[in-house]
Copies of this chain bind each other. A is one copy, B any other.
């Protein structure tokens, strides 16, 4: 699979979209993202060895930093923190905390999946075994809350820990539903909400907490909707590929038995589609073709697009620049298809 793995930072279209947001956000946004990045490394490096090594490797392996970006954009939309060094520092800490929870979850997921690669690099579990990987995940969780404690807001801790609980529950639902033929679209959406959308919601709410209180709820809702779209469209990408763009073979989720919306919808039209017995990437690709042939990918994709449109419509009145930045962030969810 190594020939297919993506650049550390993610799918090229995503990287471009994020770059566009940064360009428009100006020097302030770029500087804060840089601070968050540096701080992220600093936090993990401060752990005792060998945890520091693995925790640092995990966070520097990157990703798009979509969640920290949302924290910063939401803060800006809620009125900003410019000129207040203490609130600015608290904001960076919140951005770092959200990314740490996300990273912790990835590390534990990889332990459970015994995954070999993540973002094109060996996973902690592959490099160092289950013990170190489990402890690394625990450490990243703990550090996330330590960071958030710097933001001096009990509400912030509550937002993040609620999202973190939801993540654990969503992860579990997914494993419970693996290989199941009776997962409904509602249950699928509930799982995506827990597994993905709630952390996007927390990211936006944590950012907004640094501005006007009235912005917390609507910006959180915005985050939750685009988070749901993100997961939904990610699941479409798993079936549609192409692998050259996504960096992984089509049907990777299907091989794990993960029942996603395209599969659920396709089965309604072609009840003989069956995950059992699918063991090789070729067999998975064949199931992907069969799902695609039912025409459901368009349906699933348009549900995701609807969610993004709904998220944008639900935004409160904002100055043009802040609104455009959030619109662009929402578009990242769909532009992966461009």
Residues of chain B contacted by A280 (CB below 8 angstroms): none
Interface residues on A, range: 35 or more
Copies, count:
2
A51 at the interface (CB under 8 A from B): yes
Known: A48-B169, A146-B161. 9 other contacts (CB 8 A): A111-B134, A112-B134, A131-B171, A139-B165, A142-B161, A146-B158, A148-B157, A149-B154, A149-B156
16 A-B residue pairs with Cβ-Cβ distance under 8 Å, sorted by A, are A47-B169, A51-B168, A51-B169, A105-B138, A108-B138, A135-B171, A138-B171, A139-B165, A142-B167, A145-B157, A145-B160, A145-B161, A148-B157, A149-B154, A150-B158, A154-B154
Shortest 10 CB-CB distances between A and B: which pairs? Answer: A146-B161, A149-B157, A142-B164, A149-B158, A138-B168, A139-B168, A135-B172, A145-B161, A142-B165, A145-B145
A141 at the interface (CB under 8 A from B): yes
Residues of chain B contacted by A143 (CB below 8 angstroms): 161, 165
Residues of chain B contacted by A171 (CB below 8 angstroms): 131, 135, 138
**Distance in angstroms between the alpha carbons of A103 and B135 in the assembled complex:** 15
Residues of chain B contacted by A105 (CB below 8 angstroms): 138
Residues of chain B contacted by A48 (CB below 8 angstroms): 169, 173, 194
Within 8 A of B (CB), among A149-189: 149-158, 160-162, 164-165, 167-169, 171-173, 175-176
